[in-house]
Structure 1
Amino acid sequence: MIGAILEVGMLVDVVPVGDVPARVKREASAGLRAVYDCDVTVHEPQPIPDGAFDANRNQYRAEDFIELASRIGSGEKNIAVTPKDLFYRKRNYVFGLAYLDGNGSVVSTYRLQTSSDGGFSERNSEDIFDDRVRKEIVHEIGHTFGLEHCDNKRCVMNFSPTVREVDMKEQNLCGTCQRQIL
């Protein structure tokens, strides 16, 4: 398990930004504990950062949420979670964003919500959404540990520009990615 990279008692703080349902906070915490064997706390909810909204795009700047999580989070790693639609630079949207080896990151649930997983299963939309939340949280925190995108399509660190690709990957790190951070 990944616990070897983490100091004993390494803390990841989940920072809800905006109106984040309890279910999302639970799934985020569960995903982090399962994959990284770390301690997880859920911060008090925070308001949307001033100036984060770009009226021309009708979206929010992902970097502003990372800055907020880094500044107010109480963990060695901090991840903002928001229902707002995020973008980064010229990309149309992002599910999440993190800086390699940084202490802050963000995941948006906005585009993870859909009634379909592209026909991969007969699961209900809530279960599919829960899986996506866990995968994206684990993915972004992986970047903060220095992991880059992985070519293994099943690895949680695989680049997934669409929900179909998120659905195809697993919640766990592949052996190669595990070895990189052990």
Structure 2
Amino acid sequence: MKYYFLIMLFSLISCTNRNNENSVEKIQSQKVIVIQPLGNFELEQSNKVLSEIKTINPNVVLRKNIPFPEKAYFKPRNRYRADSIIKNLKNNIGKDSVIVGLSHSDISTTKNGIKDWGIMGLGYRPGKACVVSDFRLDIKNKNQQFYKLVLHELGHTAGLPHCEVKACLMRDAEGGNPLDEEKDFCRNCSGYLKSKGWQLM
């Protein structure tokens, strides 16, 4: 009986240690998320994004505001080219990091044969950088929509494509703003992100 108790105790400790090791490995495998406010992006909103991202990845840092890259400005439409911003941002982080630029100004890219298409965010998959803007978001739900937008673009950098599930955060906006209809990552997208170390419920 004594030996049986010792064997059970040893097994329990081994399982606990294995679970702890797996948790540590997951945290270490997560990329550091760098939050980079651009232009006059407000500190209060930057800190809100920081605290929200910490719930899915403790490896997150907030940098001080920097100006938009000069070459990113598109004067005819008074906005900034998202692809140029991403190109600039990705050169300012380490290999185990991903950076997200935060903007109040309007951003654009080339899409569907249109040279300057206004967008809410852009992230390449997989990639090291993405950028989001609250310029086109609804005033009433701006903070909630903005965080969903951040997660969407970070999902692209992790390798996720757009998703056909209407309530999924990886849904394609298709030129509109369906963010209020999006509730969370669907099961498939969530499973993929968990495999990348994201701490999702």
What TM-score do you get using the length of structure 2 for normalisation? 0.74
Answer yes or no: is the 8 Å Cα contact 1:15–1:73 preserved in 2.
no
Answer yes or no: is the 8 Å Cα contact 2:123–2:157 preserved in 1.
yes
Answer yes or no: is the 8 Å Cα contact 1:30–1:134 preserved in 2.
no
Query: In the aligned structure 2, how far is the partner of 1:22 from the partner of 1:80?
Result: 13
Compared CA separation, residues 143 and 52, structure 1 to 2 (3 A): same
Aligned to 1:37: 57
Query: In the aligned structure 1, how far is the partner of 2:71 from the partner of 2:179?
Result: 30
Structure 2: which amino acid aligns with 1:174?
Answer: C
Q: Secondary structure at the match of 1:25?
A: helix
Is 1:138 the counterpart of 2:151 in the alignment?
Answer: yes
Structure 2: which amino acid aligns with 1:56?
Answer: P
Query: In the aligned structure 1, how far is the partner of 2:49 from the partner of 2:27?
Result: 18
Partner of residue 166 from structure 1, selected from 167, 171, 179? 179
Higher relative contact order (CA closer than 8 Å, sequence separation 6+): 1
Compared CA separation, residues 27 and 152, structure 1 to 2 (3 A): farther
Structure 1: which amino acid aligns with 2:188?
Answer: T
Q: Secondary structure at the match of 1:79?
A: strand
Instruction: Give the C-alpha shift of residue 78 in structure 1.
Output: 0.5
Structure 1: which amino acid aligns with 2:79?
Answer: Q
Q: Secondary structure at the match of 1:51?
A: helix
Instruction: Give the C-alpha shift of residue 9 in structure 1.
Output: 5.7
Structure 2 residues not aligned, in runs of 5+: 1-22, 196-201
Q: Which has the larger radius of gyration?
A: 2
Query: In the aligned structure 2, how far is the partner of 1:105 from the partner of 1:5?
Result: 23
Aligned to 1:180: 192
Instruction: Give the C-alpha shift of residue 58 in structure 1.
Output: 2.4
Instruction: Give the C-alpha shift of residue 32 in structure 1.
Output: 2.4
Answer yes or no: is the 8 Å Cα contact 1:70–1:103 preserved in 2.
yes
Q: Secondary structure at the match of 2:118?
A: coil
Compared CA separation, residues 73 and 17, structure 1 to 2 (3 A): farther
Structure 2: which amino acid aligns with 1:162?
Answer: G
Structure 1 residues not aligned, in runs of 5+: 116-124
Q: Secondary structure at the match of 1:102?
A: coil
Answer yes or no: is the 8 Å Cα contact 1:103–1:144 preserved in 2.
yes
Answer yes or no: is the 8 Å Cα contact 1:52–1:64 preserved in 2.
yes
Query: In the aligned structure 1, how far is the partner of 2:76 from the partner of 2:33?
Result: 34
Q: Which structure has more helix as a fraction of its residues? A: 2
Aligned alpha-carbon RMSD (Å): 2.1
Is 1:10 the counterpart of 2:31 in the alignment?
Answer: yes
Structure 1: which amino acid aligns with 2:126?
Answer: D
Structure 2: which amino acid aligns with 1:64?
Answer: S
Partner of residue 129 from structure 1, selected from 123, 142, 148? 142
What TM-score do you get using the length of structure 1 for normalisation? 0.81
Answer yes or no: is the 8 Å Cα contact 1:43–1:73 preserved in 2.
no
Q: Percent of aligned pairs with the same residue?
A: 23
Is 1:68 the counterpart of 2:81 in the alignment?
Answer: no
Structure 1: which amino acid aligns with 2:176?
Answer: T
Q: Secondary structure at the match of 1:142?
A: helix
